[in-house]
Amino acid sequence: MSLSWGLVGLPNVGKSTLFNALTRANVPTSIYPFCTIEPHKGIVQVPDERLYALANIVKPERIIPAVIEFWDIAGLIKGSSKGEGLGNEFLSHIRGVDGILHIVRCFDSPNIPTLGEGDPIKDIELINIELSLSDLTIVERRLEKIKSLRRVGKGDPEEEAQLKVIRERLLRGDSIRDLPVIKDLPLLSWKPVIYVANTDSLDNPKVLKLLDWGKERKEVVIPVLAKIEEELAEFSDEERMTFLRDGYGVEESTLHRLVREAYRLLGLISFFTIWSKEVRAWTVVSGTKAPQAAGKIHSDFEKNFIKVEVIPVEKLILAESWAKARELGYIRIEGKEYIVKDGDVLYFKAG
């Protein structure tokens, strides 16, 4: 499975700048609102040092990391849910994403117009209201459809009751993330959110205010120097991190931090496979059993699953070869009930 995250926020908060920093796509940025008209998609490799450590042992022809998609859409403004501005028509492009990156302006620049309140918390509330109102439209449509079906003796009364609860929550501006998900109801308010504090300084009071807000509400807030990271996009990873570490005290790239939090929020883990020609990373939901993990590779592997050889990636790296790991007793045989762990290297046996 590949991850996908949609970038939302007010105009001029740095969404496209962050998109460029993450994807090195070089999409246009401007001080004018609605510079982004068409939605942009970028595909980025998920950074995982364990994959390349395995490759150093196996010397494969191909190294295939997991990937993550980022969608950059037009900025949202007050009234977007009613057709104001350009953003609402693009929300459909990110209704299918796994999570939302909510970009919040925490930098000071008299040259870049502010279309929000100038307060990061109020700006967040403005966008969340628009997302809720947009979701509310979808919920109302589904309710009307169920009511029509009920008139002819059809429709699901349990779903209708659940939709009414969702509607009330959205009208009050309350979270619905704790409510059961209804199939084929693509509500943005259900999705996990990472708040990105786009700043020119990690000590900016707006960043500190947003971090305190996040702690109080148990929301993920990541401060990011998006403009600087965009300017460093053409540098090597090592050069970029040396510059950020020495100049700004940043110890980890934004991509690493976002991926780590994205996996945690969605309950995802990685396992690895080694063949003679490739080393590959796979993404599955935590709690996945071995046959279902095998099915990610090929459906026949799940259907005809027999057993799986398992070794933690750290032990294989320590042994420096599969043969040596077997000799040391690091490799175990597991059956259909085995639950895959993060960092497992798996060799499936199927009929």
Residue 71 and residue 157 in one domain? yes
In contact, 47 and 256? CB cutoff 8 Å: yes
In a domain? residue 272: no
Least confident of 69-78, 83-92, 277-286, 312-321: 83-92
Cα-only R_g, the chain: 23
- Is 70 exceeded by the pLDDT of residue 227? yes
**Mean pLDDT, residues 269-286:** 94
- Per-residue 3-state assignment (H helix, E strand, C coil) for 100-155: EEEEEECCCCCCCCCCCCCCHHHHHHHHHHHHHHHHHHHHHHHHHHHHHHHHCCCC
Residues 28 and 6 sit within 8 Å (Cβ to Cβ): no
> What pLDDT was estimated at residue 31?
43
Answer yes or no: is pLDDT of 234 > 70: yes
CATH number at residue 82: 3.40.50.300
User: Are both 253 and 294 inside the same structural domain?
Assistant: no
Q: What is the pLDDT of residues 262-272, one digit of tens each?
A: 999 999 999 99
Which residues are within 8 A (CB) of 193 and not within 5 positions of it... i.e. 6 or more apart? Answer: 99, 100, 101, 102, 219, 220
Let me know whether 82 and 123 are in one domain: yes
The CA-atom distances, in angstroms, between 136 and each of 47, 77, 87, 139, 232 are: 37, 17, 17, 5, 41
Answer yes or no: do 144 and 76 share one domain.
yes
Q: How many independent structural domains does the chain possess?
A: 2
pLDDT tens-digit map of 157-182: 889 999 999 999 999 888 899 999 98
Core vs surface per residue 44-55: b (16+ CB within 10 A) or e: bebbbebbeebb
Q: Are residues 255 and 341 located together in one domain of the fold? A: no
Q: Which two tokens stand for residue 185?
A: 């109801």
Domain-embedded: residue 105 = yes
Query: What is the per-residue pLDDT across 77-131, written as a single tens digit (0 to 9) for each?
Result: 665 555 544 445 667 778 889 999 999 999 887 666 566 668 999 999 999 988 8
**Are residues 302 and 226 part of one domain?**
no
- Looking at the structure, tell me whether residues 154 and 41 fall in a common domain: yes
Question: What percent of the chain is modeled with pLDDT above 70?
Answer: 89
Q: Are residues 196 and 105 in the same domain?
A: yes
Q: What is the pLDDT of residue 32?
A: 42
- Looking at the structure, tell me whether residues 241 and 291 fall in a common domain: no
Kindly state whether residues 193 and 124 are assigned to the same domain: yes
pLDDT at 34: 45
- Taking residues 132-159, what's their average pLDDT? 88
pLDDT (tens digit, 9 = 90+) per residue, 26-39? 544 444 444 445 67
Using CA atoms, how far apart are residues 350 and 305, in angstroms rounded to an integer? 4
- d(C-alpha 23, C-alpha 69), whole Å: 9
Q: Which of 194-198, 239-243, 300-304 is the least confident region?
A: 239-243
In this structure, are residues 189 and 175 in contact, taking their beta carbons and an 8 Å threshold?
A: yes
Mean pLDDT for all residues in the chain: 88
Residue 90's pLDDT is: 61
* Residue 76 in this model has a pLDDT that exceeds 70: yes
pLDDT of residue 249: 86
Identify the pLDDT of residue 82. 55
Give the pLDDT confidence score for residue 122 in this predicted structure.
93
Q: What is the CATH number of the domain that holds 337?
A: 3.10.20.30
Residue 235 CA to residue 244 CA, distance in Å, equals: 12
Say yes or no to pLDDT of 24 above 90.
Answer: no
| pLDDT class of 274 with cuts at 50, 70, 90 | very high
Give the containing element (helix H, strand E) for 269: strand 268-274
**DSSP 8-class letter at 339:** B
pLDDT higher at 82 or 188: 188
Q: Which of 249, 264, 279 finishes a domain?
A: 264
Same domain, residue pair 195 and 343:
no
Q: Which domain holds residue 73?
A: 3-264
